[in-house]
């Protein structure tokens, strides 16, 4: 319990710094509360390592404390050297053999866990998702379902007897990133010109937060990630909604026209339209997402307006430029974006 608290606190600190994400701090996570098969395996081994390290700490610290008090200088000892003991085969043997045994045990247990996690087979009903790391957001593709989204990975869970696995292909469009959702699995890097693979098998529905765990440039800290685990049946509903193109609202025709005639469409795609840009996040169902700018701010109409007006003010250095829109243009474009549900 104490470990859980410490894990929570450190993560809360890292995620809420520099404060802008405070409103979203209810979803905190930590490595001591695993809710997915590979995370459980890693959790078990980390407890063993912690226990062994704690044992070593207690033995070494205890002997040091004992020695400090037992052999401290007493009145009358001044100027006299204590008896010097040279060589002891027993002690030499003990401090060679015991660490060797500890290292051997840790090596074997670690090898078994790595084998269990990396050697896992892909069941026939597994979901395949491709995650592309980008400065500084996550592109998420479901090749088998024809869905493209960003920053929020939706996956199914199953009843305890039949958990569903999601296999992730990890790629990078620019520099090295790292995919890490501590409650679901260990980290895996996303490396340019390389395909890495990892998998998750969540045991409980819910929202799990994670982040990029490899320094990738100025906005590395705002490359946050959410995994939404749906209960059986709910995932199919989500898929259905994502595959349905957004309904055009005649009241937002002006905003739509502005969106399609300014540079927006060079970088963004909207399903069922001529907008096919792939440099920025797919906006087809923008309003179904919880955050903007990969976890930078909550996705509310007000924040969306601020983002469209000047993304650089919210996430300095991000690749979306300040488009120098007037108040009127901003309002119209935001009104259109709000229909992308
Ligand atoms: Cu991407 Cu750090």
DSSP 135-203: TTEEEEEETTTTEEEESEEEEE---GGGPPPEEEEEEESSS-EEEE-TTT---EEE-BT--EEEEE-BS
Buried/exposed code over 255-264 (b: 16+ C-beta within 10 A; e: otherwise): bbebbeeeeb
Which residue from 156, 178, 52 is spatially nearest to 104, judged by alpha carbons?
A: 52
From CA 277, how far away is CA 268, in angstroms rounded? 4
Distance (angstroms) between ligand 1 centre and the Cα of 137 equals 8
β-strands 188-190, 147-150: how paired? unpaired
226 lines ligand 1 (CB under 6 A): no
176 CA closest ligand 1 atom index: 1
216 lines ligand 1 (CB under 6 A): yes
From CA 307, how far away is CA 337, in angstroms rounded? 12
177 lines ligand 1 (CB under 6 A): yes
Enter the pTM of the model.
0.84
In this structure, which residue's CA is closest to atom 1 in ligand 1? 177
Q: Please check whether residue 37 is in contact with residue 43, taking contact to mean a CB–CB distance below 8 angstroms.
A: no
Q: Please check whether residue 201 is in contact with residue 162, taking contact to mean a CB–CB distance below 8 angstroms.
A: no
β-strands 147-150, 177-180: how paired? unpaired
pLDDT score of 7: 46
Query: Which two three-digit tokens encode residue 25?
Result: 């701090």
From CA 128, how far away is CA 141, in angstroms rounded? 9
Angle between helices 327-337 and 301-309 (to 10 degrees): 130
Could you identify the residue written with the tokens 């009358």? Answer: 76
Distance (angstroms) between ligand 1 centre and the Cα of 57 equals 34
133 lines ligand 1 (CB under 6 A): yes
Could you identify the residue written with the tokens 């401090």? Answer: 95
Query: What are the φ/ψ torsions at residue 250 (nearest 5 degrees)?
Result: -60, -25
Distance (angstroms) between ligand 1 centre and the Cα of 129 equals 19
329 lines ligand 1 (CB under 6 A): no
212 lines ligand 1 (CB under 6 A): yes
From CA 152, how far away is CA 288, in angstroms rounded? 10
The sign one gets for the Cα dihedral 181, 182, 188, 189 is: positive
Q: Is 209 helix (H, G, I), strand (E, B) or coil?
A: strand
Please, what is the end-to-end C-alpha distance for the chain in angstroms? 40
DSSP code, position 269: B
From CA 304, how far away is CA 324, in angstroms rounded? 15
From CA 250, how far away is CA 184, in angstroms rounded? 43
Distance (angstroms) between ligand 1 centre and the Cα of 17 equals 16
| Residue ranges for the chain with pLDDT beneath 70 | 1-27
146: left (phi over 0), alpha (psi -120 to 50) or beta: left
From CA 90, how far away is CA 260, in angstroms rounded? 81
pLDDT score of 30: 81
Which residue from 148, 192, 154 is spatially nearest to 170, judged by alpha carbons?
A: 192
pLDDT score of 41: 95
Beta bridge partners of 230: 156
């Amino acid at each position: 319990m104490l470990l859980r608290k410490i894990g929570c606190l450190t993560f809360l600190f890292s995620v809420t710094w520099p404060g802008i994400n405070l409103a979203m701090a209810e979803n905190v996570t930590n490595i001591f509360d695993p809710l997915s098969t590979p995370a459980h395996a890693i959790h078990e081994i980390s407890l063993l390592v912690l226990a062994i390290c704690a044992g070593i700490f207690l033995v070494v610290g205890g002997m040091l404390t004992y020695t400090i008090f037992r052999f401290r200088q007493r009145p009358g000892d001044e100027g006299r050297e204590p008896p010097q003991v040279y060589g002891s085969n027993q002690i030499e043997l003990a401090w060679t053999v015991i660490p060797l045994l500890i290292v051997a045990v840790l090596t074997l247990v670690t090898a078994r866990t790595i084998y269990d996690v990396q050697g896992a087979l892909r069941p026939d009903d597994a979901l395949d998702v491709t995650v592309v790391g980008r400065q500084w957001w996550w592109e998420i593709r479901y090749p088998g379902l024809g869905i493209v989204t960003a920053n929020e990975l939706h996956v199914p869970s199953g009843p305890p007897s039949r958990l569903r696995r999601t296999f992730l292909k990890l790629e990078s469009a620019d520099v090295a990133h790292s995919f890490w959702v501590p409650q679901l699995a260990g980290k895996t890097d996303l490396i340019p010109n390389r395909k890495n693979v990892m998998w998750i098998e969540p045991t409980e529905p819910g929202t799990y937060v994670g982040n990029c765990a490899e320094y990738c440039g100025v906005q590395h800290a705002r490359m946050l990630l959410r995994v939404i685990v749906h209960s059986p049946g709910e995932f199919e509903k989500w898929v259905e909604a994502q595959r349905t193109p957004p309904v055009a609202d005649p009241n937002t025709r002006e905003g739509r026209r502005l969106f399609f005639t300014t540079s927006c469409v060079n970088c963004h795609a909207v399903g069922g339209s001529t907008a096919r840009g792939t440099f920025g996040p797919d906006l087809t169902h923008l309003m179904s997402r919880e955050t903007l700018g990969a976890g930078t701010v909550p996705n509310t109409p007000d924040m969306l307006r601020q983002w469209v007006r000047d993304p650089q003010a919210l996430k300095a250095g991000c690749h979306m430029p300040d488009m120098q829109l007037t108040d009127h243009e901003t309002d119209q474009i935001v009104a259109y974006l709000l229909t992308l549900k």
